[in-house]
Amino acid sequence: MTRPWLKDAVFYEIYPQSFCDANGDGIGDIAGIIEKLDYIKSLGCNALWINPCFDSPFRDAGYDVRDYKKVAPRYGANEDLYRLFEVAHEKGIRVLLDLVPGHTSEEHEWFTRSGEAKPNAYSNRYIWTNHWWQGGNGLPYVGGERERDGTYILNFFKCQPALNYGFLNPTEPWQLPADHPDALATREAIKDVMRFWLGHGCDGFRVDMADSLVKRDDAQKSGTSAIWRDIRAMLDKEFPQAALVSEWSNPPLALRAGFDMDFCLNNWDTGYASLMRDYDQPVNNSYFKKDAPHRDIRRFLDVYEKWYADTAALGYISLISCNHDTTRPRFGLDARELKLAYAFLFTMPGVPFLYYGDEIGMRFLDVPTKEGGYTRTGSRTPMQWNGGKNLGFSTADAKDLYLPVDPAEDAPTVEAQANDPDSLLSFVKALMKLRHDREDLQADAPYAPLSEGPGEPFVYRRGRLVLAVNPTGQTLRAPAPVTGLRPIFALGEVNADGDALAMGPQAFVVMGE
């Protein structure tokens, strides 16, 4: 069961620290996002995912939540977020918040109570061993921090203790089964957080580390999946339009667990890295790199097509331009290469996500780590709006910015690209418009590969359309069922000749009636 509004959804991911600073304090805020909703709409994006914007000590950029129901003061107040939902809805834009169900900040009140020596209602909200010297039995743990005689299990950084959803098969006295009343209470507490924001108008959640709930789960993640199915049942009853997208990167499992969408992430096993980020060797061998010596789109398609065949009837695979954990695609690709890569990503099935700034080709910057970002920080720098102070991001002094803006003379900006018909931005807008105009390019229209051999362009079918991309610097030909079709969208030189396509260097085409 999926949400009908997802069929034509294109998401825009916003890192709230870095999008638009409306009050001039150097960091982005909710009011800034509201100001830019028309811009987002002009791109053709009709849904947002906002990274965590809740009260937090920001040791992991907000993925360490201190209060799930309170907007972090640096972004504004809860009323600002409610207003964002309202204004976005008036403009036909849906808003997903980021739900972090696997862990909290070590400063969350639940954790403070859980660490007290005297047992209380929160003692089992986190996973504690029974003695200060007892380890986590293979799970990461920390001791010596609280009064309670025990160590506790971590989900990610040291500042992120794991919430207790129980163990699939407990083997130690301190491990609760997943159906223990205290493990069920954790689940209810997260449902309560979801109800709170959905009740105030949000449209669903991106779910952080969605597969991390039940510990020592099996390969099928059956314990964790059962929890998500239970949560989906609650949503179906109370908020049937609410959408969930998982950070899982295993659509066969995630979509069966009840998620509407699952991200295809830049992990070693998805093949996705081979499209735009295959540069961990002396040469850039990414599929969309013009001079890649050994490109092969099968490295991606072999995984994708297996997932697609298994899940097309269940929900959506979400292809991304990038995200806040991933190196910006501009790191390895120039503007032309990005156009071809986006043309492919945004004409595939499922529900795609554009990461803020990728539409203008923002660079990955070499900046010191910020709030636990480490190598991810370079993808989290401020949005570049225009040629003014701080490239239009903020009126604060440059030294007070959350992160620096791109210092390059030719730093890409929205303003510079908006009136240039050949810019990446104009291309992205045209591409999104085409997707909205043609049902055959949207989430549900069937996909099939047509040709992809070495020395051939990649030719694929979406519904009644035939698409082809040639990322190389040479003219390539392939047989393609294009008799009676004409180019309805093209980049570069394309010639249809009977049942064949000749694609000039770095070209893309959509052939339709």
Q: DSSP strand E in 123-164: where?
A: 141-142, 152-153
As a whole number of angstroms, the distance between CA 403 and CA 418 comes to 24
Near ligand GLC by CB under 6 A: residue from 21, 55, 60, 260: 60
Told to check if 159 binds ligand GLC by CB under 6 A, we report no
For residues 284 and 292, the answer to whether their CB atoms sit within 8 Å is yes
Question: In the bound complex, what is the minimum distance in angstroms from residue 324's beta carbon to ligand GLC?
Answer: 6
Count Cα neighbours of 327 within 13 Å in the Cβ-side half-sphere: 16
What is the enclosing helix (H) or strand (E) of 48?
A: strand 47-50
Q: Which is nearer to ligand GLC, 248 or 427 (CB)?
A: 248
As a whole number of angstroms, the distance between CA 246 and CA 261 comes to 6
Question: In the bound complex, what is the minimum distance in angstroms from residue 72's beta carbon to ligand GLC?
Answer: 15
Long-range contact list for 420-428, CB < 8 A, 24+ apart?
Answer: 423/335, 423/360, 424/335, 424/338, 424/339, 424/359, 424/360, 424/361, 425/359, 425/360, 427/339, 427/342, 427/343, 427/491, 428/43, 428/44, 428/342, 428/346, 428/354, 428/359
Question: In the bound complex, what is the minimum distance in angstroms from residue 325's beta carbon to ligand GLC?
Answer: 5
Q: Which is nearer to ligand GLC, 46 or 377 (CB)?
A: 377
Near ligand GLC by CB under 6 A: residue from 19, 63, 174, 356: 63
Residue nearest to ligand GLC (CB): 63
Told to check if 304 binds ligand GLC by CB under 6 A, we report no
Told to check if 359 binds ligand GLC by CB under 6 A, we report no
Question: In the bound complex, what is the minimum distance in angstroms from residue 404's beta carbon to ligand GLC?
Answer: 20
Q: Which is nearer to ligand GLC, 370 or 435 (CB)?
A: 370
Task: Give residues 309-348 in contact with ligand GLC (rule: CB under 6 A).
Answer: 324-325
What is the enclosing helix (H) or strand (E) of 246?
A: strand 243-246
SS3 450: strand
Q: Which is nearer to ligand GLC, 19 or 63 (CB)?
A: 63
Residue 377 φ/ψ, nearest 5 degrees: -60, -35
What string of DSSP letters covers 375-436?
GGGGGSPPP---SSGGGGS-SS-GGGSSSPPP-STT---HHHHHT-TTSHHHHHHHHHHHHH
Task: Give residues 85-114 in contact with ligand GLC (rule: CB under 6 A).
Answer: 100
Task: Give residues 452-491 in contact with ligand GLC (rule: CB under 6 A).
Answer: none
**Among 318, 291, 317, 406, CA closest to 360:** 406
Told to check if 211 binds ligand GLC by CB under 6 A, we report no
Provide the mask over 166-205, with x wherever binding to ligand GLC is found by CB under 6 A and - wherever it is not: ----------------------------------------
Near ligand GLC by CB under 6 A: residue from 247, 358, 359, 440: 247
Told to check if 353 binds ligand GLC by CB under 6 A, we report no
Q: Which is nearer to ligand GLC, 152 or 508 (CB)?
A: 152
**Among 241, 223, 300, CA closest to 269:** 300
Question: In the bound complex, what is the minimum distance in angstroms from residue 193's beta carbon to ligand GLC?
Answer: 15
Q: How many residues bind ligand GLC (CB under 6 A)?
A: 9
Q: Which residues bind ligand GLC (CB under 6 A)?
A: 60, 63, 100, 156, 208-209, 247, 324-325
